[in-house]
């Protein structure tokens, strides 16, 4: 393990605590990530000092939450995140237990404790219950404090609760989803790489899955979202189902288990939704959710049996179901609206040659230009989820081309630095067709030399034109403009690889 990657600001927080006579350890997810050779997302420090004492030591610090966590602002040091941020935050948490879970929702109160080992014992998994002690400046030696053998579990790739799993899930049922979240993040789409949930931990999850109904929807949402955003979201969702947790989170998905589709599909509805999530080309939460839920309305709308079955209206029924389930899980409005829009429109019709520019404009108006790429990603997931050979056939590339074509401004006299009114005012030209002719000639000039698109230059040129043979010049200009439009169109076509 490479301890030299512990950032300077983290070390200096530890030094300040020490200078004031306190303990300070690096703890939690960042230690696990260091041992895995991954860059930690955030750095947590734990100490016996009370929150008030921590606030007093660090002038630029604030209460992070109600549980006595203090955020210390330090100079930006993390590679990820917004490049323009003014500071990063190191969380300093007082040793504590969360012993009383009378409603199985969240700790009634946090009780501060005096030793590090008590603090480590309240943590969820062995790999998250390791602390590092770093020597003071000049001698930065690192001691690993690992009473629950988390390091050995990391080496064995094992997710295992600290202490008795049944008791730990009884205290806080959210930990069951967390186990699966860590599984989905760590095994990273590669079932061969060996990460698994320890047998007795998994057994306890199966046994106590029903306890999840006591956990607040917001906490479930946060862990569920992290599963969806992980590198193997589909394996995470499938594991949620097989251990019995999914029925409490999204029972609607389970309705598709065993529901056959028709001629065109080998997979049942649930398997198809899951494969669409697995193959979804986007990393966005809304797009992945839409891939997972896109056919969630199929079981309810199924008519007939065997390969003649139909699912009329499943897109709109599915959109309504998606809205309800996301509301139930307390997702933010913006995420709900976007996901519902994508599910609602996932059947959009597009056939090259058959669909006009006007209908592409209508689709863009209905969905929003900013959502077109995401909608196409959902369609790609849908296709890959149906095991069709080509994810992005000519048809979808052609749609992308059409979207760009109808949504960009074509070459026109509107691009000029002057307009008809200027000609009338400055050159005293009469209103009439001559104005249009002059502007078109000016546009062809500008196409050939964009530096001419300046007010004075254009006015001077316009003035000289009134003496020339305008109709002939206009004919030539029209050709130049048409050529330029074709050239631009060629560019968009080749960008989207449509001939």
Q: Is 29 in the site for Mg ion (CB under 5 A)?
A: yes
* Cβ-contact 341, 364 below 8 angstroms: no
Full 3-state SS string of 390-405: CCCCHHHHHHHHHHHH
Angle between helices 199-208 and 233-243 (to 10 degrees): 60
Q: Which is nearer to ligand ATP, 129 or 326 (CB)?
A: 129
CA distances (Å), origin 175, targets 153, 406, 435, 446? 17, 50, 74, 66
Nearer to ligand ATP, 174 or 326 (CB): 174
H-type helices in 81-198, by residue range? 116-121, 150-156, 165-171, 174-186
- Given candidates 12, 16, 29, 99, which one binds ligand ATP under the rule CB under 6 A? 29
Taking CB under 6 A as the criterion, the residue among 175, 278, 398, 474 binding ligand ATP is 175
The site partner of 422 among Mg ion, ligand ATP, none (C-beta below 5 to 8 Å per kind) is none
Dihedral (Cα; 328, 334, 336, 342), 10-degree rounding: 180
147 contributes a contact to Mg ion by CB under 5 A: no
The DSSP call for residue 389 is S
Stretch that binds ligand ATP, among 172-180, 204-212, 413-421, 446-454 (CB under 6 A): 172-180
Binding range to Mg ion, per CB under 5 A, among 22-30, 197-205, 245-253, 393-401: 22-30
Q: Which of 157, 171, 245, 232 is nearest to 205 (CA)?
A: 245
H-helix or E-strand containing 46? strand 44-47
174 contact choice in Mg ion, ligand ATP, none (CB below 5 to 8 Å, kind-dependent): ligand ATP
| Options 48, 88, 124, 286; binder of ligand ATP; rule CB under 6 A | 124
Please name which of 234, 328, 322, 237 lies closest in space to residue 286, comparing C-alpha atoms. 322
Q: Does residue number 25 form part of the binding site for ligand ATP (CB under 6 A)?
A: no
Considering only residues 173, 174, 381, 462, which one is a binding residue for ligand ATP as defined by CB under 6 A? 174
Question: Closer to ligand ATP at the Cβ: 235 or 271?
Answer: 235
Shortest CB 40 distance to ligand ATP, Å:
7
Q: C-beta of 312: minimal distance to Mg ion in Å?
A: 46
Percentages (nearest 5) of helix, strand, coil residues in the chain:
55, 10, 35
Place of tokens 């605590």: 17
**Which partner, Mg ion, ligand ATP, none, binds residue 124 by CB below 5 to 8 Å per kind?**
ligand ATP
Q: Are 354 and 399 in contact (CB under 8 A)?
A: no
Binder of residue 278, out of ligand ATP, Mg ion, none (CB less than 5 to 8 A by kind) = none
Token pair of 248, please? 């409490």
Which of Mg ion, ligand ATP, none binds 172 (CB below 5-8 Å, type-dependent)?
ligand ATP
Among 5, 19, 38, 41, binds ligand ATP (CB under 6 A): 41
Count of residues touching ligand ATP (by CB under 6 A): 10
Which range of residues in 171-179, 284-292, 339-347, 367-375 is near ligand ATP by CB under 6 A?
Answer: 171-179
Among 123, 272, 278, 288, binds ligand ATP (CB under 6 A): 123
Closest CA to 204 of 270, 129, 125: 125
286 sits near ligand ATP (criterion: CB under 6 A): no
Question: Residues 449-454: contacts with CB within 8 Å, 24+ apart?
Answer: 453/415, 453/416, 453/417, 454/417
Contact 72, 13 (CB under 8 A): yes
Shortest separation between residue 153's beta carbon and Mg ion, angstroms: 18
Q: Partners of 69 in the beta sheet?
A: 93
- Quick one: 38 or 476, whose CB is closer to ligand ATP? 38
Q: Residue 294 binds what, of ligand ATP, Mg ion, none (CB under 5 to 8 Å, by partner type)? A: none
Question: Which residues here bind Mg ion, judged by CB under 5 A?
Answer: 29
Question: Which residues here bind ligand ATP, judged by CB under 6 A?
Answer: 28-29, 41, 123-124, 128-129, 172, 174-175
């Amino acid at each position: 393990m490479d301890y030299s990657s512990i950032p300077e600001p983290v070390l200096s927080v530890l030094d300040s605590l020490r200078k004031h006579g306190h303990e300070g350890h690096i703890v939690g997810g960042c230690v696990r990530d260091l041992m895995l050779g991954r860059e930690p997302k955030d750095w947590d420090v734990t100490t016996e000092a009370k929150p008030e004492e921590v606030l007093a030591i660090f002038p630029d610090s604030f209460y992070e939450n109600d549980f006595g966590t203090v955020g210390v602002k330090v100079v930006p040091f993390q590679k990820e995140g917004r490049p323009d941020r003014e500071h990063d935050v190191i969380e300093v948490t007082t040793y504590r237990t969360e012993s009383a879970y009378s409603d199985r929702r969240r700790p009634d109160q946090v009780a501060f404790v005096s030793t590090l080992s008590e603090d480590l014992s309240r943590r969820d998994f062995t790999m998250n219950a390791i602390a590092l002690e770093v020597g003071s400046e000049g001698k930065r030696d690192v001691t690993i404090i690992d009473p629950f053998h988390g390091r050995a579990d990391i080496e064995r790739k094992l997710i295992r609760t600290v202490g008795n799993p049944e008791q730990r899930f009884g205290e806080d049922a959210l930990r069951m989803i967390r186990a699966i979240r860590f599984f989905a993040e760590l095994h990273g789409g590669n079932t061969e790489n060996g990460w698994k949930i320890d047998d007795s931990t998994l057994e306890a999850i199966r046994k106590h899955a029903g306890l999840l109904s006591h956990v607040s929807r917001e906490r479930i949402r946060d862990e569920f979202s992290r599963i969806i955003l992980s590198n193997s979201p589909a394996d995470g969702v499938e594991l949620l189902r097989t251990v019995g947790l999914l029925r409490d989170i999204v029972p609607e998905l389970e309705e598709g288990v065993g529901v056959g589709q028709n001629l065109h599909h080998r997979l049942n509805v649930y398997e198809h939704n899951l494969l669409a999530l697995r193959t979804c080309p986007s990393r966005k939460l809304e797009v992945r959710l839409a891939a997972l839920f896109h056919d969630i309305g199929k079981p309810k709308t199924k008519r007939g049996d065997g390969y003649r079955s139909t699912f009329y209206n499943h897109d709109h029924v599915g959109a309504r179901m998606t809205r309800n389930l996301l509301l139930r899980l307390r997702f933010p409005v913006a995420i709900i609206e976007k996901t519902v829009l994508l599910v609602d429109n996932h059947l959009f019709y597009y056939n090259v040659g058959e669909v006009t520019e006007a209908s592409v404009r209508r689709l863009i108006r209905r969905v929003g230009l900013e959502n077109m790429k995401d909608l196409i990603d959902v369609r790609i997931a849908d296709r890959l989820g149906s095991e069709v050979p080509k994810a992005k056939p000519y048809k979808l590339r052609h749609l992308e081309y059409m979207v760009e074509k109808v949504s960009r401004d074509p070459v026109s006299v509107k691009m000029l630095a002057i307009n008809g009114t200027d000609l009338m005012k400055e050159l005293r030209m009469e209103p009439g067709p001559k104005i249009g002719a002059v502007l078109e000639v000016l546009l062809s000039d500008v196409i050939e030399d964009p530096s001419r698109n300046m007010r004075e230059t254009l006015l001077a040129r316009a003035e000289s034109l009134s003496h020339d043979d305008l109709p002939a010049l206009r004919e030539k200009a029209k050709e130049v403009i048409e050529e330029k439009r074709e050239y631009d169109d060629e560019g968009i076509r080749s960008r989207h690889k449509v001939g």
